Structure 1
């Protein structure tokens, strides 16, 4: 600023020419001219940022993802990096990562979406692992479900493997560890855990832990040393904490879609293997190479795998029913008050007789649990931006006729239909709307509401009454009403 002031002084006070000023100060003629003849020294406003012309073609997609995130769990929402990766992979986006970050930050601020918290990196020697559960949502068989991911992470190589399970009970926990060891091709020497109830019965004041018998047998079978964090100090296993968050943000956004739990597990396995191909975040070496080095330090798998189950003796009631997972279930071929064995696996239940012969096998009650989907909330942002429907994950929750009803039109017509669906969902179930759209012409939206009412409240035609008192000669008799004309007075006019 001092040089600019001096240039102005030489021009106005010393009356020097532009060329003289430029030569004396060693600046260009253009610079000398700019400040010598400047008449407006007000502070310039910062340049506007946020036009994002390259994002113009992708605004609808990105805004749709961000709006849908508001109905998702906080830890399973899009980050700017995930949005950039999806734009490149799914739409061939040619812009920079920085442009996407600027745009997403601006839109998140406008939508009042919270920013993700930073994570802490920790280092550990090879051959050790950390285990932890995380919760995520997925779409299985068209239903929104909440599932658990048990992650076994290896801090040295940053490798991680995932087991998808419905619950965090002992059977799911031990079966998950068994399968994770098999995915790893070996057993870690030491594994860090939380004080989860599936392994720890209690923590004494001196820090000593009483472990469950089942977990102790499992640890002896696979020969690893369990290490437990101090209470409320999950950061002591910070690597797996970070990995759970990373998996949710990168492997579960958008929501994974599968036909069943087995297919969902395959999807997560593929994600974990592909993740090994990226460079380590700090060592500048491929994680795959580091993992090959670390695998050598793992213990060999036992020849006989551990079978994780819980066996209970249960007495049937007077109706031949037994209590399984807090629900009364009718078991064929057993007598009233007979005792049977109930064998709980992580995904199924075997009912056995006294000779341990399987009488019936049932799925665990939680295998089909789903999360209610608030379609009104998911559809509401699309009412103002109907074009975004084609890129929205809400399509996965719509039945075929309803999906076609919305996608078969565009512009104002689509907006009208989305608004109609939102309004009808206040009174009717989506299955009722689907049935209505299956039976009726979809073009006349004004008529559909009456059809919905008729489907829910069908016309009731009472059955004919049985009359045993009326003489048979009069049954079905139809009177001749013209005979009543004789009763009319006849006037003769002259």
Structure 2
């Protein structure tokens, strides 16, 4: 999209190109024009586009509230032209025709930044050297220097033109914005965050806290990630898996809880120890592991080796062979699950005759 603003007397042109036609780009064109000129026009005439005029009913006009906020910030008057009145916007229409013929036709550029740099240079050089329609003795650039003194002074801070949107994070740590997926830390899943986007950056915020920053992509269907976000997700999944293994171990053999606690006090790696104890649970069973853990606690040796030694000692006392783990598919394991069928005697009372209350 091309944004064009023309000063009424000097015919000084401001030209800038954007990758979309959203309201944020329309507002940013105003801000860039005022900054390039060093001041704001006192009155701005608008065609009846939706970014400026939302509704007309006779002489009653409802302007876009965001445009009114921009006008209030720079203290100028937004004034829509009458419908089907081409003479009221002739300066802009002729300037657009001039831009198409003198600037854009046959021009080559590498990217958007290159195109805008060429447009800014052309506005001040070639376009500024044409004769001023209001005073043929002046060039447009010379007339602009005179008109500059009559522009409104700029406020201390420019108008904020960033796009703000509320987004929901699902089970995966990504937010959808502009049909792209931007990563966030794994701690932000299942939450509602805010996306604040400008031309070059996409910031993702939780209230005032910035949780992620990405370079903005104007393509569609891309996954934009920060390596640390992906690594945190992998680490959290590993931690969750280890937590599930520990819960299963402690549920089967409660003595393992004290065993792990005492091992942690001695600086033992809990993840490795929980996995090792879990590998003993299936071949030896919950009851044997519970007795071996109590034995290790009684000896004051909270270590896997002490548990394994107690298991082997009891196995030798029973003259049992060493347990050999045989990995079986899940559907085979389910065949060996013992199912206790409930007694159907509780349904017998349904066939008994009811007592006659009389």
The interval holding the TM-score normalised by the smaller chain is 0.5 to 0.7
Aligned to 2:283: none
Query: Structure 2: which 5+ runs fail to align?
Result: 222-358
Aligned to 1:247: 99
Aligned to 1:290: 143
Tell me the CA shift for residue 168 of structure 1.
1.9
Aligned partners of 2:87, 2:214: CA distance in 1, in Å?
A: 41
Aligned partners of 2:94, 2:78: CA distance in 1, in Å?
A: 20
CA deviations 1:315-352 (Å, max 9, x no partner) are: 11222232212444443434432211111324432111
Partner SS state of residue 357, structure 1: strand
Aligned to 2:74: 222
RMSD after superposition: 2.5
Query: Structure 1: which 5+ runs fail to align?
Result: 1-147, 369-494
CA deviations 1:159-210 (Å, max 9, x no partner) are: 111122112211111111101001111110001111222233x213223232
- 2:120 pairs, out of 269, 275, 283, with 269
- 2:46 pairs, out of 193, 198, 214, with 193
Partner SS state of residue 209, structure 2: coil
Tell me the CA shift for residue 367 of structure 1.
9.7
Aligned partners of 1:235, 1:261: CA distance in 2, in Å?
A: 32
Aligned partners of 2:217, 2:81: CA distance in 1, in Å?
A: 31
Aligned to 1:350: 203
Aligned to 1:361: 214
Aligned partners of 1:297, 1:242: CA distance in 2, in Å?
A: 24
- Taking the TM superposition and a 5 Å limit, the aligned residue runs for 1:474-485 are none
Aligned partners of 1:282, 1:189: CA distance in 2, in Å?
A: 19
Call closer, same or farther: CA 1:367–1:213 in 2, change over 3 Å: farther
Aligned to 1:341: 194
Tell me the CA shift for residue 240 of structure 1.
0.9
Tell me the CA shift for residue 272 of structure 1.
0.5
Aligned to 2:292: none
Tell me the CA shift for residue 291 of structure 1.
1.4
Q: TM-score, normalised by structure 2?
A: 0.56
Aligned to 1:118: none
CA deviations 1:247-281 (Å, max 9, x no partner) are: 111111212313x3222211111111112122224
Aligned to 1:213: 65
Aligned partners of 1:249, 1:300: CA distance in 2, in Å?
A: 33
CA deviations 1:256-311 (Å, max 9, x no partner) are: 313x3222211111111112122224632222222122111111111111111232
Aligned partners of 1:165, 1:367: CA distance in 2, in Å?
A: 17
- Taking the TM superposition and a 5 Å limit, the aligned residue runs for 1:74-473 are 148-200=1-53, 202-258=54-110, 260-274=111-125, 275-281=127-133, 283-285=135-137, 286-365=139-218
Aligned to 1:38: none
- The answer to whether the 8 Å contact 2:183/2:212 transfers is no
Q: TM-score, normalised by structure 1?
A: 0.42
